[in-house]
C-alpha cells in the first residue's frame, strides 16, 4: 500500500511530519510520501522522505506568472504530483496538459476524482494512478472505506476497465490502520489522507497506527 499524506494548507510543521513519515516508512517498509505546500517542497525533500507536489499547472517554461511549474517542483525535490484535487479542480484539458507537464518533468502522477465515472475519465488520460475521494467525506471522521465501500470498488472496476495499469487509491476520512486495511480489502493500492496526520496532536503516532496492519 502507498500512503500519500497531503498537508494541504494546514498549519502543521511540514518538516516534523516529513521526518516522522520518513522514519515510519523506513521502520515499516510501507511506502509513504508527503505533499507539502509548494514553498516547503525543498525543506521536506531534504529530510529524505518521498516528496510530492499538491499540484502542477499545465504550462511549460515561459510567461506564466503565479503558476506552479512542474520542472520547478521537480527541481525542489518532488517525485510526484497530485492533480485535480477536490479542492483544486481543473478543466479536462488542463488535467491533460498538467499530465504532459508532469511527464516532461519526470513526476509520477495521481489524478483525483469524485466518483467511479470520473475515475474512468481520469484513467483514460494515462496517469500513473487515480484517487477516488467523495468530497462530502473529506476532512471527516469516517473513512471512505467504511462510509462508502461501493465507491472504492466502483473506482477499481472503472479504472481497470479503461486501463489496468492505472493504480487506484482512495481517500477521505482515512486515519487508522483499520481504515488502511479496509481500503486494501476493497482493492485500493494506496490511500490519500490529510487531516488524520496533519491535524493530529502526534503525527508520528498517527502514521505508526496507519501502517500497523500492513
Ligand X SMILES: O=C[C@H](O)COP(=O)(O)O
Give the interface with ligand X as residue ranges (CB under 6 A).
6, 86, 133, 138-139, 171-174, 192-196
Concerning whether 133 is annotated as a catalytic residue, the answer is yes
User: CB within 8 A of 89, min separation 6: which ones?
Assistant: none
- In terms of Cβ atoms closer than 10 Å to its own Cβ (0-12, 13-18, 19+), residue 39 is exposed
Alpha-carbon torsion (57, 59, 65, 68), positive or negative: positive
DSSP 136: G
Annotated binding-site positions: 6-8, 138, 173, 194-195
Identify the active-site residue in 133, 136, 178, 189. 133
CB of 192 to ligand X, least distance (A): 5
Alpha-carbon torsion (166, 172, 177, 182), positive or negative: negative
C-alpha cell at 197: 496526520
- Helical pair 14-28 and 203-210, crossing angle rounded to 10 deg: 30
Choice between 154 and 171, CB closer to ligand X: 171
Q: Give kind and range of the element (H or E) at residue 117.
A: helix 116-123
Neighbour count for residue 62 (Cβ, 10 Å) = 7
Number of residue whose CB is nearest ligand X: 195
CB of 59 to ligand X, least distance (A): 23
Choice between 34 and 161, CB closer to ligand X: 34
Task: State the Cα–Cα distance between residues 61 and 172, nearest whole angstrom.
Answer: 34
Concerning whether 85 is annotated as a catalytic residue, the answer is yes
CB of 129 to ligand X, least distance (A): 13
Choice between 158 and 192, CB closer to ligand X: 192
CB of 173 to ligand X, least distance (A): 5
Choice between 77 and 171, CB closer to ligand X: 171
Contact in structure between 171 and 140 (CB atoms under 8 Å)? no
Catalytic residues: 85, 133
Amino acid at each position: 500500500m502507498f500512503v500519500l499524506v497531503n498537508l494541504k494548507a494546514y498549519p502543521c510543521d511540514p518538516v516534523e511530519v516529513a521526518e516522522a513519515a520518513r522514519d515510519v516508512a523506513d521502520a515499516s517498509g510501507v511506502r509513504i510520501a508527503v505533499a507539502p505546500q509548494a514553498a516547503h517542497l525543498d525543506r521536506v525533500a531534504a529530510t529524505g522522505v518521498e516528496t510530492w507536489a499538491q499540484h502542477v499547472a499545465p504550462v511549460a517554461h515561459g510567461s506564466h506568472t503565479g503558476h506552479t511549474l512542474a520542472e520547478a517542483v521537480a527541481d525542489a525535490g518532488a517525485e510526484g504530483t497530485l492533480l485535480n484535487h477536490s479542492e483544486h479542480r481543473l478543466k479536462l484539458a488542463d488535467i491533460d496538459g498538467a499530465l504532459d507537464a508532469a511527464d516532461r518533468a519526470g513526476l509520477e502522477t495521481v489524478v483525483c476524482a469524485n466518483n467511479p465515472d470520473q475515475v474512468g475519465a481520469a484513467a483514460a488520460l494515462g496517469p500513473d494512478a487515480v484517487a477516488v475521494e467523495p468530497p462530502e467525506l473529506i476532512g471527516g471522521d469516517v473513512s471512505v472505506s467504511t462510509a462508502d465501500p461501493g465507491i472504492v470498488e466502483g473506482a477499481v472496476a472503472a479504472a481497470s476497465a479503461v486501463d489496468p495499469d492505472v493504480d487506484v487509491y482512495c481517500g477521505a476520512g482515512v486515519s487508522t490502520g483499520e481504515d488502511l486495511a479496509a481500503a486494501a480489502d476493497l482493492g485500493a493500492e494506496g490511500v490519500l489522507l490529510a487531516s488524520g496526520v496533519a491535524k493530529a496532536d502526534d503525527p508520528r503516532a498517527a502514521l505508526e497506527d496507519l501502517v500497523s496492519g500492513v
